[in-house]
Each structure stands twice: as C-alpha cells, then as structure tokens.
C-alpha cells in the first residue's frame, strides 16, 4: 500500500464510503505501524473526549508525514469525522487485533513474520499481545517477535526496559530473552531492565514465579518481591530484595521504606537528567513514604527535604543545590 492510496483510503473511511475490504486494509495499516494507547470511556459507544480526538488526528497525520511525500492530501477538517475515527479505530483494533497480527506476515517470506515494536517517545507505550498478555515499554525500548508462531511459542526478544503482565497458559510458557538472560513464566507480573552500558540485565518479580536461565547453566527460580541481576561480563546471576525504584518509570512514584537520601537523590538525577548537589551532609538521612514523580524535580525535592528541614534552589548552571 503506497502513501497516496493510504490517504485516499483514510478519506473514504472517514466519509463512510470505504468497502469492507478497504476497511480491513486500513485496520491492518494501523496495526502495522502501532497505535498510541488511548483510554476509552465507560460509554458503551466508545465516544472519546475532545482531547482524544485531537490526539488521534495528530497521530494519523503524523504517521503519514513520516512516510515519503505525496502529491495530494485530502483535508480532514470535519470535527465529527475525526470523532468517528477516534472512536471506531481503537474499538476495531481490539476486536480484530489477533486476526491481523497473524495476517501481517507474507506467507512466502519467513523474514516478514518478524515484528519489531519500539517506543521512541518519552512516555509509556502499551502493547496488547495476541495471547492476552500486556506489555508496557519504557522509552527507547523495543520488542521483537515472530507473528506466525507467537501464540504457540510465546517468545519475545527485549531491548531496553518493559513491564510484563502475562496471561496464564501452562501449555505454552512465555519466554523473554534480554542481554543473555532468558526469563520463563507461565502467568505473572514482572519487570525486565537491560542496561547495555553496564552489561547487566535485571528481572524484578512482583507476582508468581519465573525461571531464569543463563546459557550453559541450570534455571534459577525467582520469588516475588525479589530481583535477579545478570552480569554479562562475569556471567554471574545474583538475587536481591526488590528495589523501591524498580517500577517508578511506569507508576511515576517511589514507595520509600526508610530509603537513604543518597539513593533517592541518585535516582532523581537520572530520572530528571539533572545534577543535584548538597552543601549539607545527607548521608545519614532517610525517608519513608510515597514520592510522586508526576511533577518537576523541585516539587519532588521539596517533599523529600521538608521532613529534615532542608531546602533546595537552582544554581546558575541549572543544577540544584540542597542547603
């Protein structure tokens, strides 16, 4: 399907003149390029709010803009047509996703079966797999899977960080390969973070059990509320209690239980990409409670420092000083 035909197809879809075959083509197009997560309302008609319509419109035009230029673009300036697009496309994707996932590969070309899904944005990207499992991708994270054999093999290759909520299927274990470590589950929730710079892969288990395998070694079972760290340099796999920061990228909050100030500050520097220094000793200080990461770094620090009567300010080089 070339870009000009895509524009024409969308135009006919929004005007209600597309055929059943053309509707299937358009649905497959959206599945191929991925769709940002939109939370549908409780309305059984799935009518989205105005801001959702605006986001859908921006996504449609943005995806086409990423392709090669086309000679003609049909205007899509009717508000009610945009609301139809925002409402109908996500609903049909949910109903027909499994079918078109399987149909996306060329039967005569084995390489066409491989599907790559990547989150290039700064927010979360939710992926609904055809086996009923859900995966949330952190930024700069990608998945790779075989669309033809996935429901039978349930195997994924991960690069980056992702949270998994796996649908139970004892007959078909779910496996994730990341950084030389293979994680096998039957149905559970866990997080995998691959650090290519440190050559480490961390698996954090929240519910259920997982079996971790390194090439040439026997599987090790990980218990809930624990993490396993695999070092590719040494080949060692070690376990440790779950970190308070394991899921902060997804939940946007840190559940602190007597966490040291130093560890919290170190995490905030990485999370917000900012330098934080202190002209007072904070090594012996701790914090318990919930730190929301929804606001900017100053808001987080103000809540953190208030407990010990400390303050913070920005310096001339845009770093932050605790005093």
- pLDDT classification of 4: cutoffs 50, 70, 90: low
Between the CA of residue 144 and those of 22, 115, 116, 155, 160, what are the distances in Å? 28, 6, 5, 9, 12
Q: Rounded CA gap, 235 and 138, in Å?
A: 26
Encoding tokens for residue 52? Answer: 């959702």
Whether 322 contacts 279, CB under 8 Å: yes
**Confidence (pLDDT) at 112:** 52
Residue 91: CB partners within 8 Å, gap ≥ 6? 40, 46
Q: Rounded CA gap, 138 and 136, in Å?
A: 7
**Confidence (pLDDT) at 211:** 95
Q: Are strands 226-231 and 276-278 parallel, antiparallel or unpaired?
A: unpaired
Phi, psi of 307 (to 5 degrees): -60, -35
Q: Rounded CA gap, 192 and 50, in Å?
A: 35
Task: Return the percentage of the chain with pLDDT > 90, whole number.
Answer: 50
Q: Map residue 171 onto helix, strand or coil.
A: coil
Identify the helix (H) or strand (E) that includes residue 51. Answer: helix 50-66
Q: Is 162's pLDDT higher than 90?
A: yes
Q: Is 72's pLDDT higher than 50?
A: no
**Confidence (pLDDT) at 95:** 43
Average pLDDT estimate for 66-71 = 41
Encoding tokens for residue 208? Answer: 């259920």
Encoding tokens for residue 222? Answer: 């990980």
Scanning 156-285, the segments in alpha helix (DSSP H) are 248-251, 261-272
Residue given tokens 């669309």 in the structure block: 147
Identify the helix (H) or strand (E) that includes residue 80. Answer: helix 79-103
Q: Rounded CA gap, 69 and 95, in Å?
A: 32
Identify the helix (H) or strand (E) that includes residue 304. Answer: helix 297-306
Between the CA of residue 180 and those of 215, 234, 236, 274, 308, what are the distances in Å? 7, 12, 11, 31, 43
Q: Is 192's pLDDT higher than 60?
A: yes
Q: Is 50's pLDDT higher than 70?
A: no
Q: Is 20's pLDDT higher than 80?
A: no
Q: Of the segments 6-20, 23-37, 96-110, 245-259, which one has the largest average pLDDT value?
A: 245-259
Q: All domains of the chain, ordered by start, with CATH?
A: 3-104 (no CATH), 111-241 (2.60.120.1440), 252-322 (3.55.50.30)
Q: How many residues does the chain have?
A: 323
Please state which of the ranges 30-34, 182-186, 204-208, 253-257 shows the lowest mean pLDDT.
Answer: 30-34
pLDDT in tens, 256-305: 999 999 999 999 999 999 999 988 888 889 999 999 999 899 999 999 99
Residue given tokens 């987080």 in the structure block: 300
**Confidence (pLDDT) at 61:** 55
Q: Is the pTM of this model over 0.85?
A: no
Residue 232: CB partners within 8 Å, gap ≥ 6? 179, 180, 199, 200, 201
Encoding tokens for residue 10? Answer: 């969308």
Q: Map residue 95 onto helix, strand or coil.
A: helix
Q: Rounded CA gap, 236 and 93, in Å?
A: 43
Task: Return the percentage of the chain with pLDDT > 70, whole number.
Answer: 66
């Amino acid at each position: 399907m070339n870009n000009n035909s895509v524009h024409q197809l969308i135009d006919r879809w929004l005007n209600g003149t597309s055929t059943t075959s053309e509707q299937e083509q358009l649905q497959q197009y959206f599945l191929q390029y991925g769709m940002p997560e939109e939370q549908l309302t409780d309305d059984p008609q799935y009518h989205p709010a105005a801001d959702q319509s605006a986001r859908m419109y921006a996504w449609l035009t943005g995806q086409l803009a990423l392709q090669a230029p086309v000679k003609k673009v049909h205007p899509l300036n009717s508000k009610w047509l945009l609301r139809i697009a925002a409402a109908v496309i996500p609903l049909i994707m949910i109903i027909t996703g499994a079918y078109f996932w399987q149909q996306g590969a060329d039967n005569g070309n084995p390489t066409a079966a491989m599907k790559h899904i990547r989150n290039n944005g700064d927010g979360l990207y939710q992926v609904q797999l055809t086996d009923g499992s859900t995966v949330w991708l952190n930024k700069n994270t990608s998945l790779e899977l075989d669309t033809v054999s996935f429901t039978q093999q349930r195997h994924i290759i991960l690069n980056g960080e992702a949270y998994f909520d796996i649908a139970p299927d004892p007959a078909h274990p779910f496996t994730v390969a990341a950084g030389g470590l293979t994680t096998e589950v039957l149905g559970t929730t866990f997080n995998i973070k691959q650090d290519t710079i440190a050559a480490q892969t961390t698996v954090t288990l929240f519910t259920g059990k997982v079996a971790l395998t390194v090439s040439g070694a026997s599987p090790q079972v990980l218990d809930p509320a624990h993490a396993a760290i695999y070092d590719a340099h040494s080949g060692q796999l070690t376990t440790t209690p779950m970190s308070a920061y394991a899921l902060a990228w997804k939940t946007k909050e840190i559940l602190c239980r007597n966490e040291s100030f130093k560890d919290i500050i170190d995490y905030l520097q990485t999370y917000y990409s900012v330098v934080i220094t202190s002209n007072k000793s904070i090594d012996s200080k701790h914090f318990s409670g919930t730190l929301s990461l929804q606001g900017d770094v100053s808001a987080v620090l103000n809540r953190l420092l208030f407990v010990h009567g400390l303050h913070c300010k920005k310096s001339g080089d845009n770093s932050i000083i605790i005093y």
